Amino acid sequence: MKPNITLRALALGLVAGAVSADERTLTVYTYGSFVSEWGPGPGIEAAFEAQCGGCDLEFVALDGGVDILQRLRLEGEGSAADLVLGLDMNLMAEARELGLLAPHGVDTSALALPIDWQDDTFLPYDWGHFAFVYDTEQLATPPASFAELLEAPDDVQVIIQDPRTSTTGLGLLLWIRQVYGDAAPEAWERLNERVLTVTPGWSQAYFSLFMNGEAPMVLSYATSPAYHMAVEESERYQAAEFAEGHYLQVETAALLKRSTEPELAREFLRFMLTPDFQRHIPLGNVMNPAIDLGDELPEVFGRLIEPASLTFTPEEVRDNRRAWIREWLNASSR
Amino acid sequence: MPAVARRASPLALAAGWLALAAVAGLGLASLAALLWQAPALSISDLWREPWLAGILRFTLWQATLSTALAVGLAIPVALALARRPRFLGRRLLLRAMELSLVIPTLIALFGLVAVHGRQGWAAPLWEWLTATRADYLYGLSGIVLAHVFYNLPLSARLMLQALETAPAAHWRLTAQLGLSRGAIWRTLEWPRLRSLLPRLAALVFTLCFTSFAIVMTLGGGPRSTTLEVALYQALKFDHDLALAALLALTQLTLCLSLWLVALTRGGTPRLVPTAGSGLPGGRWWRRDALGVSRLHDGLWLLGLTLLLVPPLAAVTLAGLYGLPQLPGRGSLWPAALRSLAMALGAGGLSLLLALALLAGAEALRRRGSRLAALAMEGSGQLILVIPALVLGTGLFLLLRPSLGAGWHGYALVVLVNGFMALPFAMQVLRGAIPGLSAPEERLAEQFGIHGRARLRWLVWPRLRRPAALALAYAMTLSLGDFSVIALFGSPAAPTLPMLLFQQLGGYRWQGAAATALVLLMAVVLVFSLLDALSRRRPRYPFRP
């Protein structure tokens, strides 16, 4: 009798599977902190499912933007994803070359980015500047420019991240390259005297070291203080504004050519540029929303620094990343 | 004593070969998948990376130094713990020693920085003593300190386990003879440790060699990196599968040759009867436990406490502060249960594989195939020396079409975690597996005690405690794992370490500390529960 029961259970399972497959499912590859309970994911999922009329939004969480790209490469044409969400500008060129992505076809007039956005494949959903966040209890007046940071007294130490393993680390590499051009190696040599240590990721730098008071400054985002001010109600951590401008990070989503739900996916992309999606970004992802949220923008975002934006094109990053990393290694290993 | 002809169980042999095939299959197949996907392959590619030689030199140096200190210092600590079977807080100290292995590096780093950092608790003392700034956490000294923090307790715990399995009769004898410290060391302690040391050192070396976040965070700059960074860059940024596979092969070759040396040095385990009654050795009066040795032992134990407890206390304190921030909406307890269930699966798998490999190796040894026995035992280390990144990518390439979301991913994580915990489980079990001594076996043959009865009455009583400890280590290793689970991607159902990283990604660092505290509690629970379960004396029903 036993096999019978198993068979019946199996059949039941199949039927159940078939029923739930009736619902349209949209699979989105993204990164872990986006879908976490504290991230914007749950709110966005609820809002989208409420308006799409019987669909299921399924986030698949990977480690970070680099891992999303890696997963696309490994899966190729057979990818289960309809959308990828979380590729920043520095990954765009390589992602485009895979030939797996389709034009988004979304009206971008609502976008409110610090730069002009023309790309027809990648649609931004948030942005932020890289910045050095400092502890006001340790540092009363932070350096006002890179030049001042390089000249700062010995006790102004910074914690940075490795450009080979971290998005923020790569951001600093590009930032310095923008500001100093071919003189970047010399700038790095001087900056290295200020560097306490180079961590593999943002979490080690921010959490293990900076929150323990190990150094007065850490490489992070200009939006980081918004979290401390809004959620912890503390003014202690602020971002230092540099006169040379700050390197910009724009996070984007893109549609896969082989998506089985292209219509639903485009609906999601259009939804992405509405307040129902964007209101979850400022305090959920601790980044700036990609559209003008008006009154809905949390008040603390008005108290953040508003520096000038520096960028390289995605193609420039792709072509030079290896050489610039080598340059940094040379300058840092002496 | 003439060698006794001993039967090699065909069942053990078959199980051993099966386990070997599984381990080697998984490990080598994932590497092969990478190589097979790689467009072109040339060994000279490897040297295109001019940093490789420097990285290797540094990695070897820090790993050697860390291993020497962690294992070397663990010896007096383990001896002191064995000599003092009863003192206030001994059990707590043992629990703390078991914790250090499984703390996620991020949390361990937080604790270490809170104590040894420039603003740490120990900084004023350091500045008063040396009149210099407390910068010792950054650079080689910090890396070594962190590795000693991780590995000394593990080493001392395993050594203690080996010392405690010394037969009660031997301790009775030393008590009767009133042996001095030196004599006990020569006759009892050293022989037990000697067979353990090479493999333990190899295990610790492997852990230090493949350590990634600690070396980078505390190293101070790109001079202190490991092979894994080069691998990460090759695999993720440059999508250079060939280079990644070659780097993995480099690591594999280095670590496996080390294991080969260790396996041939340790000698076959001595076939002495172990304390079936479960009496810890130290219950007997020991002359060497008196007098000035009280002071020595006290100092060593104090040293261990100072190494271990303050960072753990810092983590606990932060966790207590973060308790109000513990994840709501009921995601914490499901995550904890999910983690425990996966850990149980991985731990059980690891235990079974370890038993199969060790029993198989022993059976091979009895047949006189020493080399095959070595290979079988050595295969247990294979997964540990293949970088998780390579293992994950390779498996992904192999299983791609069938790897759906949902439980597939979790099953794969359980599988890989089980394999990764193998070296730990084997290390714990190794002393227990040789089974019966020749006289015991003869006796058993005479009485016709075979098969299940022999397992139940002769083998199991002396296996249960090491098996419980092995299971506990394997389970907690899987509990704390993040490297594997992060590779496969998952829907919204996180495990505890994933939850912790998600919290950090969302700036909830105090909440993350609270999650870490829950994770540590889970580890304590696993060790205590398994310890209690295995401590219960086997009941021998009396049937007149």
Q: How confident is the model at residue B327 (pLDDT cuts 50, 70, 90)?
A: low
Q: What percent of chain A has pLDDT over 70?
A: 93
More confident residue, B213 or A123: A123
- In chain B, which residues have their Cβ closer than 8 Å to the Cβ of A224? 507
pLDDT at B5: 46
Cβ density class A98-125: b for 16+ within 10 Å, e for less? bebbbebebebeebebbeebebeebbbb
Q: Which of A1-5, A59-63, B173-177 has the lowest mean pLDDT?
A: A1-5
Pick the CATH number of B20-50+326-437+448-544 from 1.20.1090.10, 1.10.3720.10, 3.40.50.1950, 3.90.320.10: 1.10.3720.10
Which of A208, A210, A251, A329 to mutate to test binding with chain B, by most B CBs within 10 Å of its CB? A208
Report pTM.
0.85
* Shortest Cα–Cα distance, B49 to chain A (Å): 10
* Shortest Cα–Cα distance, B302 to chain A (Å): 26
Residue B106 has pLDDT above 50, yes or no: yes
- Residue B221 at interface with chain A, using a CB cutoff of 8 Å: yes
Q: How confident is the model at residue B283 (pLDDT cuts 50, 70, 90)?
A: low
- Of the candidates A35, A198, A231, the beta carbon closest to that of B492 is on A35
Residue of A nearest to B221 (CA): A198
pLDDT at B2: 38
- DSSP E strands: which ranges in A205-331? 217-221, 237-240, 246-256, 288-289, 309-310
Q: How confident is the model at residue B404 (pLDDT cuts 50, 70, 90)?
A: low
Closest Cα to residue B280, out of B195, B183, B167? Answer: B167
Q: What is the mean pLDDT of residues A281-293?
A: 94
pLDDT digits (tens, 9 = 90+) for B161-173: 888 777 767 777 8
pLDDT at A111: 93
pLDDT at B40: 65
CB contact under 8 A, A197 and B217: yes
Q: What is the mean pLDDT of residues A124-151?
A: 94
> Which uninterrupted H or E stretch holds B318?
helix B293-322
DSSP conformation class of A241: P
- Of the candidates B119, B213, B490, the beta carbon closest to that of A213 is on B119
Please provide the average confidence, as pLDDT, over all residues in chain A.
Answer: 89
- On the 0-12 / 13-18 / 19+ scale of CB atoms within 10 A, B293 is middle
User: How would you classify residue B278: left for phi > 0, otherwise alpha for psi between -120 and 50, otherwise beta?
Assistant: left
Residue A169 has pLDDT above 60, yes or no: yes
Q: Which of A5-14, B59-68, B428-437 has the lowest mean pLDDT?
A: A5-14
Distance CA B109, CA B332 (A): 23
* Shortest Cα–Cα distance, B306 to chain A (Å): 20
Residue A116 has pLDDT above 50, yes or no: yes
Q: What percent of chain B has pLDDT over 70?
A: 83
pLDDT digits (tens, 9 = 90+) for B68-81: 999 999 999 999 99
pLDDT at B302: 93
Q: What is the mean pLDDT of residues B201-211?
A: 89
From chain B residues 269-328, the ones with a CB under 8 A of any chain A CB are: 327-328
Q: Hey, do B20-50+326-437+448-544 and B52-225+291-322 end up sharing a CATH topology, with the first three levels equal?
A: yes
More confident residue, A323 or B234: A323
CB contact under 8 A, A200 and B504: no
Q: Which of A10-19, A48-57, B134-143 has the lowest mean pLDDT?
A: A10-19
- Residue B51 at interface with chain A, using a CB cutoff of 8 Å: yes
Q: What is the mean pLDDT of residues A61-86?
A: 88
pLDDT at B45: 59
- Residue B494 at interface with chain A, using a CB cutoff of 8 Å: yes
- In chain B, which residues have their Cβ closer than 8 Å to the Cβ of A31? 505
Q: What is the mean pLDDT of residues B468-474?
A: 89
Residue A47 has pLDDT above 70, yes or no: yes
Q: What percent of chain B has pLDDT over 90?
A: 14
List of residues 6+ apart from A246 with CB closer than 8 A = A129, A130, A131, A175, A222, A307, A308, A309, A310
Q: How confident is the model at residue B269 (pLDDT cuts 50, 70, 90)?
A: very low
- In chain A, which residues have their Cβ closer than 8 Å to the Cβ of B408? none
Tokens of A121: 């494949």
Measured distance between the N- and C-terminal CA atoms of chain A, rounded to whole angstroms: 75
The correct answer on CATH 1.10.3720.10 for the domain covering B52-225+291-322 is yes
- Of the candidates B213, B223, B489, the beta carbon closest to that of A204 is on B213
Q: What is the mean pLDDT of residues A25-50?
A: 90
pLDDT at A18: 41
CB contact under 8 A, B400 and A61: no
Q: Which of A307-311, B262-266, B472-476, B507-511 has the lowest mean pLDDT?
A: B262-266
How far CA A87 is from CA of A71, A95, A255, A269, B190, in Å, comes to 12, 8, 12, 14, 57
CB contact under 8 A, B120 and A207: no
Residue B277 has pLDDT above 60, yes or no: no
- On the 0-12 / 13-18 / 19+ scale of CB atoms within 10 A, A164 is buried
pLDDT digits (tens, 9 = 90+) for B370-403: 888 888 888 888 888 888 788 888 888 887 755 5
Closest Cα to residue B288, out of B215, B189, B364? Answer: B189
CB contact under 8 A, A197 and B223: no
Tokens of B182: 């030196």
More confident residue, B442 or A130: A130
More confident residue, B433 or A140: A140
- In chain A, which residues have their Cβ closer than 8 Å to the Cβ of B225? 162
A54-68, B10-24, B139-153, B379-393 — most confident range: B139-153
Q: Where are the domains of chain B?
A: 20-50+326-437+448-544, 52-225+291-322
How many residues in chain B? 544
More confident residue, A121 or B51: A121
Closest Cα to residue A175, out of A124, A248, A239? Answer: A248
List of residues 6+ apart from A51 with CB closer than 8 A = A271, A276
Q: Is the dihedral of CA B12, B463, B473, B78 positive or negative?
A: negative
- DSSP E strands: which ranges in B31-106? none
pLDDT at A84: 95
pLDDT at A226: 94
Residue A175 has pLDDT above 70, yes or no: yes
User: How would you classify residue B330: left for phi > 0, otherwise alpha for psi between -120 and 50, otherwise beta?
Assistant: left
Q: Are A148 and A139 in contact (CB under 8 A)?
A: no
Q: Which of A30-44, A89-103, A311-325, B5-19 has the lowest mean pLDDT?
A: B5-19
Q: How confident is the model at residue B278 (pLDDT cuts 50, 70, 90)?
A: very low
Give the residues across from A60 on adjacent strands.
A29
Domains of chain A in sequence order: 2-127+249-303 (3.40.190.10), 128-248+305-332 (3.40.190.10)
Please provide the average confidence, as pLDDT, over all residues in chain B.
Answer: 80
pLDDT at B83: 85
pLDDT at A157: 92
Give the amino acid at B204: V
Closest Cα to residue B22, out of B374, B260, B376? Answer: B376
Q: What is the mean pLDDT of residues A26-53?
A: 90
pLDDT at A258: 92
* Shortest Cα–Cα distance, B352 to chain A (Å): 27
Residue A185 has pLDDT above 90, yes or no: yes
CB contact under 8 A, A197 and B328: no
- Of the candidates A74, A198, A208, the beta carbon closest to that of B110 is on A208
Q: What is the mean pLDDT of residues B336-348?
A: 92
Backbone angles phi, psi at A126, to 5 degrees: -160, 170
Distance CA A51, CA A277 (A): 12
